[in-house]
């Protein structure tokens, strides 16, 4: 079982990440998420010798991909010209119509989505390797479903962000309104961003720890 110190480190890092997302701090969000995922990767249930090597590497791969997704995401927050709110109306109109910036946002959003989808794939294969009787017979089995639901919600949000990041044709007044909403989501983290970070960490924790526990073999070679 994880030690109390490990659990406190995980909870503390997760809280820092969620609050960072709420306040729009790329450093707090990025460091908090990466640290929390790193702690998950070295939890005793994951590193136990009773966990098959393939399952362990799949779980580690999923955690690494999620960390990459968050790092790419908060990189957009850090580099955003909207962070200090000092743009004039003319500068805002010019920036929103910048085709190069629109393409950069789109590529970033696709990268975030790609990393999260690949992470879900790693976790999905790891869960698929767990014997069916263990998933159905253990009380912790439903936690995998809860974790998968939370992670799917975070991934769907990334997909929605990527869809809305598709570069627009030369903007008119209606396009400016839509682009303004997009910029707020990408560079001005709010409650939605904090919830997305929390869902990602919750999903990862439930899937990784539960899958590792259910994957343990009964007989471990010395």
Q: How far apart are the first and last CA of the chain?
A: 21
pLDDT band at residue 127 under the 50/70/90 scheme: very high
State mean pLDDT over 190-207.
91
State mean pLDDT over 23-31.
90
| Residue the block writes with tokens 């010019």 | 94
pLDDT reported for residue 187: 45
219 phi and psi angles, rounded to 5 deg: -110, 115
- Dihedral in degrees, nearest 10, Cα atoms 110, 113, 118, 123: 180
Cα(95)–Cα(101) distance, integer angstroms: 8
- Domain regions of the chain by residue span: 4-215
Contact by Cβ (8 Å): 55, 15: no
- Model confidence over 137-191: pLDDT tens digits? 777 778 999 999 999 999 999 999 899 888 766 555 454 444 444 444 344 446 8
pLDDT reported for residue 159: 94
pLDDT at residue 200 greater than cutoff 70: yes
State mean pLDDT over 114-136.
92
- Model confidence over 67-97: pLDDT tens digits? 999 999 998 777 665 555 555 555 555 556 5
pTM for this predicted structure: 0.82
């Amino acid at each position: 079982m994880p030690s109390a110190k490990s659990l406190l480190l995980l909870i503390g890092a997760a809280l820092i990440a969620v609050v960072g997302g709420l306040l729009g701090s790329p450093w707090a969000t990025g460091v908090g998420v990466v640290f929390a995922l790193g702690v998950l990767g070295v939890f005793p249930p994951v590193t136990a010798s009773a966990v098959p090597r393939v399952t362990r590497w799949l779980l580690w791969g999923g955690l690494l991909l999620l960390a990459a997704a968050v790092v790419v995401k908060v990189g957009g927050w850090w580099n955003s010209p909207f962070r200090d709110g000092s743009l004039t109306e003319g500068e805002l109109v010019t920036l929103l119509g910048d085709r190069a910036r629109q393409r950069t946002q789109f590529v970033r959003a696709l990268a975030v989505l790609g990393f999260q989808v690949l992470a879900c794939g790693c976790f999905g294969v790891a869960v698929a390797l767990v014997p069916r009787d263990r998933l159905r017979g253990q009380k912790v089995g439903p936690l995998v479903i809860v974790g998968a639901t939370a992670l799917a919600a975070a991934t769907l949000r990334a997909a929605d962000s990527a869809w809305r990041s598709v570069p627009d044709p030369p903007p008119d007044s209606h396009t400016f309104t839509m682009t303004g909403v997009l910029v707020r989501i990408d560079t001005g983290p709010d409650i939605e961003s904090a919830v997305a970070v929390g869902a990602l960490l919750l999903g990862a924790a439930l899937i990784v720890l539960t899958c590792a526990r259910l994957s343990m073999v009964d007989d471990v070679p010395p």
